[in-house]
């Protein structure tokens, strides 16, 4: 639970809002019912249940975009309604809503929601004691929204940059091992819930150390970048490539059965064998391939692919070896 809160910014905001709603709105709802102000009490109760429902939806489905938008609209419209019913004391509820909306949804949508909320109160007009108070409220609401917009925009930009640095390999531009761990966990979840089949190929550039030692790391880096470009050109957009470490890469292929997996990997091997070159000549790649088994863990899945890759290296490199393939078939794999 705490891991999701640390890694999903919008979910943490929704959770914080839900907790704040329970602690902050509940006493006012009870107080208004006790004082006989049933309309405002019902509104407060409706807002409270809406926030709690959206919070539960976000945690269960992981869809923070829809739940965030719903919460932004609910809170701002509820604050407007409370302000219109209660009058001046209810106006203060709109200020935190104006700020929070920028963290629950996109800046453009939040700006529209905030403007609509303020305009609605201005058009109603009954919540204000004078024109001076009304326009003072409008001015302060605008300043609050503008400051929240700037802060949210800069925060979102910095967060995207940090996420990019944390999940992308700077040399090749593909996702790194940290991102791979998350995607493989999601693959297991999807396979269990939706019965989606998955294949995994562990790739290792043959004699890569020799390339680095002979021609320098600059040439080695070019070989890595060329490998990534060729794989991306010859795989689907739904397939995901990760740099596992050094010259090793992991290719995750969703929605492929064993027959399709074999065809994809063998075709990829032929393409790399034909077009991958360095100053010393052709560059070859060894493959260890494994289909996900029902109920299998990520570690076990990777271990089977790694064992297959080891067998490919042991048999002479430039081979595709499948995790369930017998050792007697390795000779055929070399020419496949």
247 classed as catalytic: yes
**Element (DSSP H or E) covering residue 18:** helix 9-34
Within 10 angstroms of residue 245's Cβ, the number of other Cβ atoms is 11
- How far is the C-alpha of 10 from the C-alpha of 67, rounded, in Å? 10
Q: At what angle do helices 9-34 and 94-104 cross, to 10 degrees?
A: 160
Strand partners, 291: 199
Please state the separation of Cα 69 from the chain's center in Å: 17
Within 10 angstroms of residue 77's Cβ, the number of other Cβ atoms is 18
Report the relative pairing of strands 248-254 and 198-205 from DSSP bridges: antiparallel
CB 78 within 8 A of CB 65: no
DSSP string for residues in 194-247: H---EEEEEEEETTHHHHHHHH-HHHHHHHHHHHHHHHHHTS-TT-EEEEEETT
- How far is the C-alpha of 72 from the C-alpha of 67, rounded, in Å? 9
Within 10 angstroms of residue 150's Cβ, the number of other Cβ atoms is 12
Selected catalytic residue, list 182, 232, 247, 326: 247
Task: Extract long-range pairs of 4-11: CB within 8 Å, 24+ residues apart.
Answer: 8/62, 8/64, 9/159, 10/64, 10/65, 10/68, 10/103, 10/104, 11/58, 11/59, 11/62, 11/64
- How far is the C-alpha of 199 from the C-alpha of 262, rounded, in Å? 9
* Residues with active-site annotation: 247
């Amino acid at each position: 639970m705490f891991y999701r809160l640390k890694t999903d910014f919008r979910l943490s905001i929704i959770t914080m809002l839900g907790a704040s709603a329970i602690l902050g709105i509940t006493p006012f709802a009870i107080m208004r019912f006790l004082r006989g102000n049933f309309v405002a009490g019902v509104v407060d109760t409706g807002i409270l249940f809406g926030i709690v429902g959206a919070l539960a939806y976000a945690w269960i489905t992981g869809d923070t975009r829809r739940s965030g938008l719903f919460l932004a609209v609910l809170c701002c419209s509820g604050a407007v309604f409370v302000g219109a019913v209660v009058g001046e004391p209810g106006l203060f509820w709109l200020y935190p809503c104006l700020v929070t909306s920028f963290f629950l949804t996109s800046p453009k949508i939040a700006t529209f929601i905030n403007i609509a909320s303020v305009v609605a109160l201005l058009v109603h007009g009954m919540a204000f004691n004078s024109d001076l108070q009304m326009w003072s409220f409008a001015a302060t609401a605008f300043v609050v929204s503008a400051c929240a917009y700037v802060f949210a925009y800069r925060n979102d930009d910095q967060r995207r940059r940090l996420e990019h640095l944390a999940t992308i390999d700077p040399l090749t531009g593909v996702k790194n091992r940290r991102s791979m761990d998350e995607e493989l966990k999601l693959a297991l979840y999807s396979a269990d819930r939706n019965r989606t089949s998955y294949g995994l190929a562990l790739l290792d550039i043959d004699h890569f150390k020799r390339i680095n030692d002979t021609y320098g790391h600059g040439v080695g880096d070019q070989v890595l970048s060329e490998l990534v470009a060729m794989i991306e050109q010859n795989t689907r957009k739904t397939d995901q490539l990760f740099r596992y470490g050094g010259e090793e890469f992991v290719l995750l292929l969703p929605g492929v059965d064993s027959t399709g997996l074999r065809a994809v990997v063998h075709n990829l091997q032929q393409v790399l064998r034909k077009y991958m070159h360095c100053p010393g000549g052709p560059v070859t790649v060894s493959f260890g391939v494994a289909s996900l088994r029902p109920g299998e863990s990520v570690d076990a899945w990777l271990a089977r692919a790694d064992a297959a890759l080891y067998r490919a290296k042991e048999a002479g490199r430039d081979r595709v070896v499948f995790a369930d393939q017998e050792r007697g078939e390795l000779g055929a794999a070399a020419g496949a």
